[in-house]
């Protein structure tokens, strides 16, 4: 079994005893929508939550100090949506406020610019009912739309994997976005909340901590739509580079993967620099991309398995380097 597929069996057995006291008959999802100056997109998110075929749910919008008309938008939905205002404290703090306010045993996150398929919650909760009690997260893959809601082309080189996802998998790359997650509230009681010192990659840090103690299942069905626009955090390579490096450092300090797996850690650092390079390519900063790709290859000059980066393309880093140089 490869390192990426290993799990901390002892920890999972300990926490499974507590989770086993939870009956799979427990139902109810608290939908947490953090919002900061996204009033133009927020109605689509709220309506996709209201339109879910699963029940019961409660919808909580946490307004993180917006200066636009977010409050007015939420007020239009009356008692269908619970509104919480807080002073601007960041995305992690807004999610944490929502978790603390949630009254249901399951938590689902929906970013204010994203949209759910009507069957998202029903499909996810049905998956939970088929899994053992030591699973704390069920997630799915996304589709992508532009700022106007039009479908974006599918990446032809992407190869999607599903089933059990372990800490090593998540440390190498993000496997699912926050809007794709349904989680047991007990997982946050045990693992803590989102790290408010992180300005991006806070979701990967959270899933890593949960994966170190519980099990995670990833469905192959794409039941959410992620909106791509210029304000996305993931379009800022400097911020992503700094904060993902912090996540890797935290994981090292917490022994998410044992330190003696030296080559794995080099691979994690290498893939991190590759991902930063892809963002630079996307915003047409080719010199920056070339530098990051060279560093990636120096850190880990060996071929990377397709599963590690969800790609069906062989020698993807070399191909990306050629693209950055010659395009």
DSSP state of 102: -
Would you say residue 17 has pLDDT above 50?
A: no
Q: How high is the pLDDT of residue 233? A: 60
Alpha carbon distance 208, 30 (integer Å) = 22
Higher pLDDT, 38 or 327: 38
- The contacts of residue 58 (CB under 8 Å, 6+ apart) are 28, 29, 30, 31, 82, 102, 103, 104
Per DSSP, the three-state class of 67 is coil
**Of the candidates 114, 119, 51, which has an alpha carbon nearest to the alpha carbon of residue 81?**
51
- Classify residue 239 by burial, with Cβ atoms within 10 Å: 0-12, 13-18, 19+: middle
**Poorest-confidence range of 20-24, 27-31, 188-192, 292-296?**
20-24
| Rounded Cα gap, residues 29 and 52, in angstroms | 11
**Residue 246, SS3 per DSSP:** helix
> Is beta strand 115-116 parallel, antiparallel or unpaired with respect to 106-109?
unpaired
pLDDT of 49-82, one tens digit each? 999 999 999 999 999 999 999 999 999 999 999 9
Helices (H), 110-229: 120-130, 167-172, 185-191, 202-211
Cis upstream peptide for 217 (omega within 30°): no
Domains of the chain: 3-233 (3.90.550.10), 258-326 (no CATH)
Render 5-35 in DSSP notation, one character per residue: G---HHHHHHHHHHHTTS-TT---EEEEEEE
Residue 5 has pLDDT above 80, yes or no: no
pLDDT in tens, 129-170: 999 999 999 999 999 999 999 999 988 778 888 999 999 999
pLDDT given at position 327: 73
**First vs last C-alpha separation in the chain:** 39
Question: What are 178-201's pLDDT values in tens digits?
Answer: 999 999 999 999 999 999 999 999
CA distances from 21 to 15, 35, 224 (A): 11, 34, 31
Q: Is the pLDDT of residue 232 over 80?
A: no
Instruction: Dump pLDDT digits (tens) for 70-113.
Output: 999 999 999 999 999 999 999 999 999 999 999 999 999 999 99
- Per-residue pLDDT at 26: 67
Weakest mean pLDDT among 1-15, 33-47, 158-172, 295-309: 1-15
Looking at residue 20, what is its pLDDT? 37
* pLDDT value of residue 313: 75
- For residues 274 and 309, the answer to whether their CB atoms sit within 8 Å is yes
Packing angle between helix 262-282 and helix 316-326, nearest 10 degrees?
30
pLDDT at 16: 39
The pLDDT confidence band at residue 312, using thresholds 50, 70 and 90, is confident
Mean pLDDT of the chain: 90
The candidate with the shortest Cα–Cα distance to 12, out of 194, 262, 266, 211, is: 211
Please give the DSSP secondary-structure letter assigned to residue 118.
T
Strand partners, 33: 61
């Amino acid at each position: 079994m490869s390192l990426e597929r290993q799990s901390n069996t002892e920890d999972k057995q300990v926490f499974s005893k507590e989770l086993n006291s939870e009956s799979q008959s427990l139902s109810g999802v608290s939908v947490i929508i953090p919002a900061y100056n996204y009033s133009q997109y927020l109605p689509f998110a709220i309506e996709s939550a209201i339109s879910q075929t699963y029940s019961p749910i409660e919808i909580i919008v946490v307004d993180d100090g917006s200066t636009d008309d977010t409050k007015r938008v939420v007020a239009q939905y009356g008692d269908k949506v619970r509104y919480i205002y807080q002073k601007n404290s960041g995305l992690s703090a807004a999610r944490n406020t929502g978790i603390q306010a949630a009254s249901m045993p399951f938590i689902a996150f929906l970013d204010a610019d994203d949209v759910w398929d009507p069957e998202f919650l029903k499909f996810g909760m049905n998956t939970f009912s088929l899994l053992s009690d030591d699973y704390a997260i069920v997630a799915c893959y996304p589709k992508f739309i532009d700022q106007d809601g039009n479908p974006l082309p599918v990446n032809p080189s992407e190869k999607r994997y599903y089933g059990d996802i372990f800490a090593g998998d998540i440390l190498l790359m993000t496997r699912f976005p926050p809007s794709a997650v349904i989680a047991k509230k007990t997982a946050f009681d045990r693992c803590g909340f989102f790290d408010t010192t992180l300005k991006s990659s806070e979701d990967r840090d959270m899933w890593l901590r949960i994966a170190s103690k519980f099990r995670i299942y990833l469905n192959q069905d794409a039941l959410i739509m992620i909106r791509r626009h210029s304000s996305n955090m993931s379009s800022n390579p400097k911020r992503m580079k700094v904060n993902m490096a912090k996540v890797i450092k935290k994981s090292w300090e917490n022994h998410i993967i044992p330190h003696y797996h030296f080559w794995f850690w080099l691979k994690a650092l290498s893939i991190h620099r590759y991902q930063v390079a892809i963002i630079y390519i996307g915003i047409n900063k080719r010199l920056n991309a070339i530098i990051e790709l060279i560093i990636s290859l120096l850190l880990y000059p060996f071929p990377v398995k397709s599963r590690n980066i969800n790609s069906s393309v062989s020698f993807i880093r070399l191909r990306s380097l050629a693209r950055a140089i010659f395009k």
